[in-house]
Amino acid sequence: MVQSIHLVRHGHHALLGQVLCGRVAGVQLDDLGCRQMARCAELMRPAPSAVQASPQPRARQSAAILAWHFRRPVEIVPAVDEIDCGDWTGQPFAALTNDPRWIRWNDKRGASRPPNGECMHALQRRVVEHVEQLGRDRTDGTIVIVSHAEPIRAALLHYAGIPLDNFLSIEVDPASISTLAVDETGIRIAQINQRVAA
């Protein structure tokens, strides 16, 4: 039985904090991000039995660094993909600041959605369903899932029993490790946002 699930955010990239990347094609880690993920691998004990990743290149690249360290293949899992930001995809954060829809999105995550995008409830549902399935699997050891801030935050909010509107109460830094413990009683949070130094 799986004993723990590490939820790992991808490493740093050049657009971080400037552009709402979402599912923009081709976003890759920078040198800092690569160093962060190498450090992240060094912190993981015991070695994972499987490494999974979001389909986005920055998550796949991050997972590949971990997988190389542990001599494991990377499994691409659409269920842990980045949230679909719809019309906001690729927009600079500065351009969204005065958009009333953006203000509402950041104030009422549980009751709004990006224009033509995915709501937080749908994101949370697909990520939690995947985590729950892993919890039921017979695979031994530890699973690593490399994803993004919003999917990881959505899962942690679920297991912490925190409403989606309070999404900012949980931080998910680049290359951070948040851990879910799995046993016969279910799944619980063991650690949130363990940071790495690069």
Give 180's pLDDT tier (boundaries 50, 70, 90).
Answer: very high
The pLDDT tens digits of the residues spanning 53-66 come to: 999 999 999 999 99
The rounded mean pLDDT for the chain is: 95
What pTM was computed for the model? 0.96
pLDDT of residue 112: 95
Read off the pLDDT of each residue in 106-120 and give the average, rounded to a whole number: 96
Report the half-sphere exposure of 105 (CA within 13 A, side-chain side): 19
Q: Are 36 and 11 in contact (CB under 8 A)?
A: yes
Read off the pLDDT of each residue in 70-96 and give the average, rounded to a whole number: 97
Read off the pLDDT of each residue in 42-56 and give the average, rounded to a whole number: 94
Read off the pLDDT of each residue in 82-94 and give the average, rounded to a whole number: 97
Instruction: Kindly give the pairing relationship between strand 74-76 and strand 177-183.
Output: unpaired
Q: Rounded to whole angstroms, how far apart are CA atoms 181 and 192? A: 12
Give 2's pLDDT tier (boundaries 50, 70, 90).
Answer: low
Percent of the chain scoring above 70 in pLDDT: 97
168 or 68, which is more confident: 68
Number of Cβ within 10 Å of residue 149's Cβ equals 19
pLDDT of residue 85: 98
pLDDT of residue 197: 75
Q: Coil, strand, or helix at residue 94?
A: helix
pLDDT of residue 137: 83
In this structure, whether the domain defined by 2-194 belongs to CATH 3.40.50.300 is answered with no
The pLDDT tens digits of the residues spanning 120-170 come to: 999 999 999 999 999 988 667 899 999 999 999 999 999 999 999 999 899
Identity (one letter) of the amino acid at 181? A
pLDDT of residue 162: 97
pLDDT of residue 1: 62
pLDDT of residue 136: 87
